């Protein structure tokens, strides 16, 4: 049997009686077994922290609401799109609940970072596609019949009701914000005493364990841990194991596994021009380079931060003396001052205002996750929270649910080339009611819904596949745009259909033999024999960030970047640099400041952002010089993909005189993509087709900034 993290109901029944001798006077011959066990437990921690992110995010975006797309510009003045967003001093129960779950969601990202850094620190390569394996990256761990929190507990083994939670009703599924779903969240974040007390007596030995795990050997499934706190307690205790060799010398498991030069990644405490302060002023969010004792102390502090934020529980340090490391709640809270500087908010005219991100996080930071979900329960019980299913079924009941007024503020104006609010409202209605009725079984409606689910799964796959690289390669950037883009895709499924995004619908499997050119932009298909139609993009490549795209011609419909810059996900505003040699393509001149054209993803990470591309997506400031000067006009270099005798494609530049086009701030991204596409067709001496009518799916998706 292959060693894998824990699975439900498997593994030996273990004693729950602590043995201090096993922990501190262990024979060195047990090292390899202990190392294998700890490696699987740490991967389980990565799994669990990752598992909660789509779960909480999906429910968060089920809360009915509207948002504006803002930034340091007035590109989308007076326009609203479906979906909630953090709010400064919220005035409604919906806005308050969104803020609360948003604060939990962000801290779960922190926990995932800390668990992943711990893995690398111990020489364990964390894997982020364990719960959504290829092909298709489908998330089958969430379903209407599941009672299993992976690696932690099967809720069927719990008492029917405990401390106000009905465990008989809990299902580990994606759902809107309702009473039972909130009970699931309370059960996940339950304090340690509740986690122990809820287990039926006959199953207690199945879940309550001490380190080292009694009777466990490589090849045997890990037991389940009963609670997230128990899992981290076991990690803590394993790191405290002290070995005695034949000469009586001591060494710890942590010392023997510790890699002081390990890659540590950080998205919270890094400092840059756009993120001037560390968010957690009292917490080291990475651990590397320290002597073993100091490093272990920092690891224990990070573990305490996770459990203190989540279930409000301290980790008890099992040691030779009666000492205990207490979590200091203030230490583990993000700084309000730092958050306001790191995440500024703007009005739709580009004026800086109070930070909604900072308010949502800091105002909830004093409460652990369990307490935050208790507060949400009160609002659910009051019946004041409106989700998208309620909005579709009770608030708006006809086929024409959306009106143009839903998408406007008082300052709205029709501003070409942007689609009108009337156009977008009509597209929202057509997608949900293709035949003009409320028949949920309509075949076209079902096809639309499936496509939205594929897009949502692909967007999340675009995150997890990049994370598999991110913790192994320091040159890979964190997929920030993918995080925001995946939220857009989840919220739009809720808003359009009033149904949960089904992440078990897989992404269609792409071919990797180099003989297929996929297209990321509506109608912009450069493969042989292709003709433009109303399709959004190849279904195999739903992603929303450069770095998560891997095939030629795949990433062409988003933001541009400078030719020669092979980058992973990052800001849409690129710093102007001298180009470097292309991966698999022509080498640009040393003084080149050309930009990549739509469709010209000559190799992985050269593409732009967002599939599908919003019909409202316009170019912001194109680039910024090191001195801070905005560049609003740029030149694109055009390439073609020439089919070879073996069926693969070779990247070739277009002839001089036809190999460049200009673009500027304020132009529609798809317009430039189409212009680049037609230039390639003209170079091939092929007829240029009529530009396809903007698809409904592109009309309804909000732009990114």
Domains and CATH numbers, the chain: 20-381 (1.20.1260.10), 399-705 (no CATH)
3-class DSSP state for residue 176? coil
Q: Which of 175-179, 512-516, 572-576 has the lowest mean pLDDT?
A: 572-576
Q: State mean pLDDT over 154-182.
A: 97
Q: What is the pLDDT of residue 379?
A: 93
Higher pLDDT, 48 or 570: 48
**489 burial class (0-12, 13-18, 19+ CB within 10 angstroms)?**
buried
Number of neighbours of residue 273 by Cβ within 10 angstroms: 7
Confidence of residue 577 (pLDDT cuts 50, 70, 90): very low
As a whole-number percent, the residues of the chain with pLDDT over 90 amount to 62
DSSP string, 504-540: TSPPPPPP-SS------STT---STT----S--S-GG
Q: Which residue has the tokens 């560049």?
A: 631
What secondary structure letter does DSSP report for 273?
T
Candidate ranges 171-180, 469-478, 506-515; pick with highest mean pLDDT = 171-180
Q: State mean pLDDT over 150-177.
A: 97
Q: Is the pLDDT of residue 588 over 60?
A: no
Higher pLDDT, 582 or 668: 668
Beta strands in 110-180 (DSSP E): 148-149, 153-154, 161-162, 165-166
Q: What is the pLDDT of residue 480?
A: 79
Backbone angles phi, psi at 24, to 5 degrees: -120, -5
Q: What is the dihedral of CA 542, 523, 452, 131, to 10 degrees?
A: -10
Q: What is the pLDDT of residue 592?
A: 52
Confidence of residue 626 (pLDDT cuts 50, 70, 90): confident
Which tokens in the block code for residue 107? Answer: 């801290």
Q: What is the pLDDT of residue 306?
A: 94
Which tokens in the block code for residue 502? Answer: 């089904």
Q: What is the pLDDT of residue 553?
A: 62
Q: List helix spans (H) across 277-392.
A: 292-310, 336-342, 356-362, 369-382, 388-390
> Cis peptide leading into 417, omega within 30 of 0?
yes
Confidence of residue 632 (pLDDT cuts 50, 70, 90): confident
In sequence order, what are the residues at sequence separation of 6 or more whose Cβ sits closer than 8 angstroms to the Cβ of residue 73? 350, 620, 621, 705
Higher pLDDT, 642 or 254: 254
Q: What is the pLDDT of residue 534?
A: 60
> Cis peptide leading into 135, omega within 30 of 0?
yes
Most distant pair of Cα atoms in the chain: their distance: 83
Q: What is the pLDDT of residue 601?
A: 60
Q: What is the pLDDT of residue 14?
A: 32
Q: State mean pLDDT over 167-192.
A: 97
Confidence of residue 678 (pLDDT cuts 50, 70, 90): very high
Q: Is the pLDDT of residue 693 over 60?
A: yes
pLDDT in tens, 443-455: 999 999 999 999 9
Cβ–Cβ < 8 Å for 177, 62: yes
Q: What is the pLDDT of residue 498?
A: 97
Q: Which of 28-42, 509-523, 547-561 has the lowest mean pLDDT?
A: 547-561
Candidate ranges 104-118, 581-595, 669-683; pick with highest mean pLDDT = 104-118
Angle (CA) 667 671 674, round 5°: 150
Which tokens in the block code for residue 26? Answer: 């262990």
Mean of the per-residue pLDDT values for the chain?
Answer: 86
Q: State mean pLDDT over 364-388.
A: 94
Higher pLDDT, 171 or 592: 171
Q: Is the pLDDT of residue 674 over 70?
A: yes
Q: Is the pLDDT of residue 608 over 50?
A: yes
Q: State mean pLDDT over 579-588.
A: 40
Can you tell me the distance from the alpha carbon of 503 to that of 424, in angstroms, rounded to the nearest whole number?
Answer: 25
3-class DSSP state for residue 303? helix
Q: State mean pLDDT over 312-324.
A: 46
Candidate ranges 371-385, 534-548, 578-592, 612-626; pick with highest mean pLDDT = 371-385
């Amino acid at each position: 049997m292959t060693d894998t993290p824990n699975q439900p109901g498997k593994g030996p029944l273990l004693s729950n009686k602590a043995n201090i001798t096993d922990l501190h006077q262990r024979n060195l011959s047990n090292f390899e077994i202990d190392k294998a066990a700890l490696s699987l437990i740490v991967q389980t921690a990565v799994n669990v922290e990752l598992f909660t992110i789509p779960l909480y995010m999906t429910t968060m975006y089920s809360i009915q609401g509207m948002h504006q797309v803002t930034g340091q510009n007035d590109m989308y003045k007076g326009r609203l799109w479906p979906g909630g967003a953090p709010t400064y001093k919220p005035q409604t129960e919906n806005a308050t609940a969104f803020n609360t779950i948003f604060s939990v969601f962000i801290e779960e990202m922190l926990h995932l970072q800390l668990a992943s850094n711990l893995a690398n620190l111990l020489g364990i390569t964390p894997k982020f596609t364990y719960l959504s394996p290829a092909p298709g990256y489908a998330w089958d761990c969430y379903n209407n019949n599941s009672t299993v929190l992976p690696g932690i507990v099967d809720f069927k083994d719990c008492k029917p009701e405990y401390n106000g939670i009905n465990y008989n009703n809990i299902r580990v599924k994606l759902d809107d914000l309702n009473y039972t779903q909130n009970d699931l969240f309370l059960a996940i974040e339950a304090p340690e005493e509740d986690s122990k007390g809820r287990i039926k007596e006959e199953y207690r030995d199945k879940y309550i364990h001490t380190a080292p795990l009694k009777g466990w050997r490589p090849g045997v499934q890990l037991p389940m841990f009963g609670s997230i706190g128990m899992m981290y307690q076991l990690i803590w205790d394993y790191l405290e194991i002290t070995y005695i060799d034949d000469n009586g010398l001591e060494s710890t498991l942590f010392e023997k596994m510790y890699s002081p030069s390990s890659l540590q990644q950080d998205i919270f405490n890094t400092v840059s021009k756009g993120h001037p302060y560390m968010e957690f002023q009292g917490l080291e969010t990475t651990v590397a380079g320290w002597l073993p004792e100091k490093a272990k102390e920092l690891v224990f502090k990070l573990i305490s931060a996770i459990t203190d934020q989540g279930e409000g529980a301290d980790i008890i340090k099992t040691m030779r003396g009666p000492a205990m490391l207490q979590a200091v709640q203030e230490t583990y809270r993000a700084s309000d001052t730092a958050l306001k500087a790191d995440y500024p908010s703007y009005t739709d005219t580009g004026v800086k205002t109070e930070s909604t991100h900072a308010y949502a996080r800091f105002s909830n930071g004093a409460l652990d996750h369990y307490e935050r979900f208790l507060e949400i329960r009160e609002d659910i019980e009051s019946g004041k929270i409106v989700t998208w299913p309620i909005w579709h079924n009770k608030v708006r009941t006809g086929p024409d649910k959306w009106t143009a007024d839903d998408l406007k503020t008082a300052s709205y104006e029709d501003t070409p080339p942007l689609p009108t609010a009337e156009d977008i409202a009509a597209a929202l209605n057509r997608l949900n009611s293709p035949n003009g009725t409320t028949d949920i079984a309509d075949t076209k409606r079902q096809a639309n819904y499936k496509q939205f689910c594929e897009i949502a799964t692909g967007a999340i796959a675009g995150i997890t596949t990049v994370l598999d690289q991110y913790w192994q390669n320091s040159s890979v950037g964190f997929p920030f745009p993918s995080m925001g883009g995946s939220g857009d895709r989840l919220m739009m499924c809720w808003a359009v259909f009033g149904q949960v995004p089904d992440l078990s619908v897989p992404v269609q499997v792409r071919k990797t033999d180099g003989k297929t050119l996929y297209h990321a932009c509506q109608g912009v298909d450069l493969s042989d024999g292709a003709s433009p139609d109303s399709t959004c993009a190849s279904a195999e490549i739903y992603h929303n960030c450069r770095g998560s795209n891997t095939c030629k011609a795949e990433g062409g419909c988003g933001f541009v970047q400078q030719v020669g810059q092979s980058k992973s996900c990052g800001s849409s505003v690129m710093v102007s640099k001298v180009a470097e040699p292309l991966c698999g393509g022509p080498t640009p001149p040393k003084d080149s400041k050309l930009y990549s054209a739509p469709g010209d993803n000559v190799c992985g990470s050269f593409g732009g952002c967002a599939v599908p591309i919003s019909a409202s997506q316009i170019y912001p400031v194109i680039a910024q010089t090191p001195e801070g000067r905005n560049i609003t006009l740029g030149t694109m270099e055009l390439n073609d993909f020439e089919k070879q005798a073996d069926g693969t494609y070779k990247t070739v530049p277009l002839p001089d005189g036809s190999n460049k086009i200009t673009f500027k701030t304020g132009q529609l991204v798809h317009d430039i993509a189409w212009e680049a596409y037609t230039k390639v067709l003209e170079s091939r001496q092929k007829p240029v087709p009529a530009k396809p009518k903007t698809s409904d799916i592109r009309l309804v998706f909000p732009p990114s900034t």
